[in-house]
């Protein structure tokens, strides 16, 4: 269900698109689409990323039950400098917004736009992420890229029987 929508999104916004799932204490990249641009930011299929170093991981954690999150935290301790209270505050903010837009935890200059794919149980079963790179003369604005990405995740959520997570009408986005 994701591949055609991801291809269309990548073409429309001229950015790479990734689909990730939780795999134990990691984020596993299960889908990847390159844009038509010559310069791309991609992550290889099958790559595992520490859940704390991926916005997709944070987005999926925000949409887990308390028990599932507790179990995950028992296997993956918090990163240095982060408290449980800070994590809970961050995840609550993600749930309120319905997505996360944050500087990459791995590559300077990349801004991750990540939104959950919610299953029929209300939990995140995947996350759609665009690692946005700014190109000179790009006709697609960052704000339009955010809206298109979040909309695509909402359509994927609906296709798997999940409910609507958030809305982007009236929001404006800017690179951090």
Predicted confidence (pLDDT) at residue 5 exceeds the cutoff of 50: yes
83 alpha-carbon distance from chain centroid = 22
What confidence tens digit (pLDDT) does each residue in 24-49 have?
889 999 999 999 888 778 888 999 98
pTM: 0.89
| Model pLDDT, residue 174 | 47
Predicted confidence (pLDDT) at residue 9 exceeds the cutoff of 60: yes
42-62: average pLDDT: 90
Contact 128, 17 (CB under 8 A): yes
**What does the mean pLDDT of the chain come to?**
88
| Separation of alpha carbons 132 and 128, rounded Å | 12
| Model pLDDT, residue 161 | 84
How many percent of the chain have pLDDT more than 90? 59
| Model pLDDT, residue 164 | 63
């Amino acid at each position: 269900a994701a591949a055609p929508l991801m291809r269309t999104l990548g073409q429309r916004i001229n950015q790479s698109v990734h689909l990730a799932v939780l795999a134990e204490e990691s984020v596993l990249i299960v889908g990847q689409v390159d844009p038509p641009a010559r310069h791309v930011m991609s992550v290889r299929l099958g790559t595992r990323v520490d859940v704390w170093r991926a916005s997709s991981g944070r987005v999926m954690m925000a949409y887990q039950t308390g028990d599932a999150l507790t179990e995950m935290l028992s296997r993956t301790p918090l990163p240095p400098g982060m408290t449980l209270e800070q994590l809970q505050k961050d995840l609550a903010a993600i749930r309120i917004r319905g997505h996360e837009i944050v500087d990459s935890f791995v590559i300077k200059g990349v801004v991750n736009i990540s939104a959950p794919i919610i299953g029929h149980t209300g939990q995140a079963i995947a996350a759609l992420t665009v690692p946005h790179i700014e190109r000179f003369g790009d006709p697609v604005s960052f704000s339009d890229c955010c809206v298109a990405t979040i909309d695509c995740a909402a359509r994927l959520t609906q296709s798997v029987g999940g409910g609507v997570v958030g809305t982007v009408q009236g929001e404006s986005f800017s690179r951090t």
